Amino acid sequence: MLKKIMLASAILLSTSAIGLSADLTESNPVPPIALETPAFTWTGAYIGISGGAGWLNGSTTKMGRYHDQQDFDGTVFGGFAGYNWQFSNGIVAGIEGDIEYNSNDEKFFGYRTFGTDWQGSARGRLGYAFDRLMVFGTAGWTMAKGHIEFPGASESETFSGWTAGAGVDYAVTDKVFLRGEYRYSDFGSKEIVRGMNVDFDQSVVKVGLAVKF
């Protein structure tokens, strides 16, 4: 009989403890932990690839007397890298460099072929960020290798000048962004062969894909 009474008491105490525990859980719920998602920032280094179309305007003067002018349509493809600093007011400042294969050829005076092989630039950038969308302007120094070919010979020179443009970057993830850009480059003039001076400038529209670190 005593064993039965003790067993019943144990069962009653266990049931009471379970009920009390449930009451405490219901009356004092543990608040969920709030996880804050860090705000996106453009600050950091990046590297990418880009390509597009170029429209080059070239003119040449032969022996100071004869003049010819041609329009060149070509393509550009290459890579770029840079670093951005984003400030609390949404302003983004940065530096960037690029080097690209620049393909175009056209004839001057009917038999001399002029074209470019590659181009590069070092520029500053200034933009404004609308969260993951950034609009920017850019300007700086540029250079390009130009060549001229004619029967029996060919010569090449490195031209240098200035470049400026504008574009938009859009971050599809925290680490990857897309780019659309227009740039105008004035490569200046140079005597590429004796007695022949070449002057050219170029407009380029291109798109790019980059990874941010």
Average pLDDT of the segment spanning 108-113: 78
Residue 200, token pair as written in the block: 């050219």
61-76 pLDDT, tens digit each: 887 778 888 888 899 9
CATH code for the domain of 142: 2.40.160.20
Is the pLDDT higher at 84 or at 20?
84
Task: Tell me the C-alpha distance between 130 and 174, whole Å.
Answer: 14
The reply to whether 12 falls in a domain is no
**How much is the mean pLDDT over the chain?**
85
6, pLDDT greater than 50 = no
Which 3-state string (H, E, C) describes 38-66?
CCCCCCEEEEEEEEEEEEEEEEEEECCCE
The reply to whether 11 falls in a domain is no
The reply to whether 10 falls in a domain is no
- Using a 10 angstrom Cβ sphere, with 0-12 exposed, 13-18 middle and 19 or more buried, the burial of residue 104 is buried
Whether the predicted model's global pTM rises above the 0.85 cut: no
Distance of CA 150 to the CA centre of its chain: 38
The reply to whether 113 falls in a domain is yes
- Structural domain boundaries, residue 114: 44-212
Residue 64, token pair as written in the block: 């100071």
The reply to whether 37 falls in a domain is no
Q: In this structure, what are the phi and psi dihedrals at residue 6, rounded to the nearest 5 degrees?
A: -65, -40
Is the distance from CB of 175 to CB of 147 less than 8 angstroms?
no
Task: Tell me the C-alpha distance between 50 and 100, whole Å.
Answer: 9
143-182 pLDDT, tens digit each: 999 888 877 778 889 999 999 999 999 999 999 999 999 9
Non-local CB neighbours of 88 within 8 Å, separated by 6+ positions:
none
The reply to whether 156 falls in a domain is yes
Domain count, the chain: 1
Average pLDDT of the segment spanning 4-31: 49
